[in-house]
Amino acid sequence: MHRFANPARFLRIARPATPLTFWTGLAIVATGLAWGVFLAPGDYLQGESVRMLYVHVPTAWLSLSAYLGLGIAGFSVLVWKHPLAEVVLAALAPIGAAFAAVCLITGSIWGRPTWGTWWVWDGRLTSMLVLLFLYLGVIALMRAYDEPSQGARMGSVLALLGLVNLPIIKFSVEWWNTLHQPASITLSGSSIDSAMLWPLLTSAVGFALLMASAVLMRMRALIAERKVAARTARMAMAAA
């Protein structure tokens, strides 16, 4: 892993991977959503509103997965002090926050016709809102220090502490009474009909690739910004 945590080696992989993940992701998302909207059947209970599944569920999965990535990056920052792990931390947080926000808003829109309310303070919804606040907290902490490495360390501590929220989100529908339905897809199988499951998995793969492309773009931006800052500092010292 340490071998790949080299910014120069990373850039050699990231430059061709960025457009590849973006265009492939866009094509797969378009396919998955068109499949879900125009070809998949409506639900016998929820009717047409079930079509929100194809954007709400992938964004929920990905905002949780990105937070797990944030925790792993935070661990690498604190233990190995990898400069690339700091970049991953700073790149993942805003993109994960965007996915968490989309998940919360689309869930709220789904809740209105299904439950008759935009929002309830139950375990699943509240723990997802806490996830968004954790993302925002990591971003704020990383920007609160003049020295980027110190900000990354503080952000890493919060990212690691916030990992405890992931099992709370996952099991909230089992631990507490909630309006939110329990998990439909588990390790033992799926209760979703294959006519809906395949477009869901397709759009999830597409959204994952789009997220990967956005994270790669942010990582490239942060590496370039650090290069500019280092070179500017060197030039200022040479001129002095």
Partner 1 sequence: MTQTDYVIAAYVVAAVGIGSAVLWAYLTMRRAERAAQRLRER
Nearest to 77 by CA among 161, 152, 1, 158: 152
143 contacts partner 1 (rule: CB under 8 A) = no
Nearest 5°: phi and psi at 47?
65, -135
Helices 53-80 and 148-162, axial angle in degrees (round to 10)? 120
Please give the Cα distance from 51 to 146 (Å, whole number): 46
Segment interacting with partner 1, rule: CB under 8 A, options 106-114, 142-150, 172-180, 190-198: 106-114
192 contacts partner 1 (rule: CB under 8 A) = no
Q: Which of 56, 82, 124, 153 binds partner 1 (CB under 8 A)?
A: 56
Facing residues of 186 across strands?
Answer: 189
67 contacts partner 1 (rule: CB under 8 A) = no
Is 147 exposed, middle or buried (CB count within 10 Å of its CB: 0-12, 13-18, 19+)? exposed
Facing residues of 47 across strands?
Answer: 43
Show contacts of 216-222: CB within 8 Å, 24+ apart: 216/14, 216/17, 216/18, 216/21, 217/18, 218/90, 218/91, 218/94, 218/95, 219/10, 219/14, 219/87, 219/88, 219/91, 220/11, 220/14, 220/15, 220/18, 221/91, 222/87, 222/90, 222/91
Q: Are 6 and 219 in contact (CB under 8 A)?
A: no
Segment interacting with partner 1, rule: CB under 8 A, options 52-60, 79-87, 119-127, 151-159: 52-60
98 contacts partner 1 (rule: CB under 8 A) = yes
Contact string (CB under 8 A) for partner 1, positions 1-20, x = contact: -----------------x--
For partner 1, which is the closer residue by CB, 161 or 224?
Answer: 224
105 contacts partner 1 (rule: CB under 8 A) = yes
For partner 1, which is the closer residue by CB, 81 or 227?
Answer: 227
Segment interacting with partner 1, rule: CB under 8 A, options 120-128, 163-171, 188-196, 222-230: 222-230
Q: Which of 40, 85, 196, 210 binds partner 1 (CB under 8 A)?
A: 210
204 contacts partner 1 (rule: CB under 8 A) = no
For partner 1, which is the closer residue by CB, 94 or 171?
Answer: 94
Smallest distance from the beta carbon of 189 to partner 1, in angstroms? 27
DSSP 8-state secondary structure symbol assigned to residue 103 = H
106 contacts partner 1 (rule: CB under 8 A) = yes
Facing residues of 43 across strands?
Answer: 47
Smallest distance from the beta carbon of 38 to partner 1, in angstroms? 12
DSSP 8-state secondary structure symbol assigned to residue 158 = H
Residues interacting with partner 1, by CB under 8 A? Answer: 18, 22, 33, 37, 47-49, 51-52, 55-56, 59, 94-95, 98-99, 101-102, 105-106, 109-110, 112-113, 207, 210, 213-215, 217-218, 220-222, 224-225, 227-228, 231-232
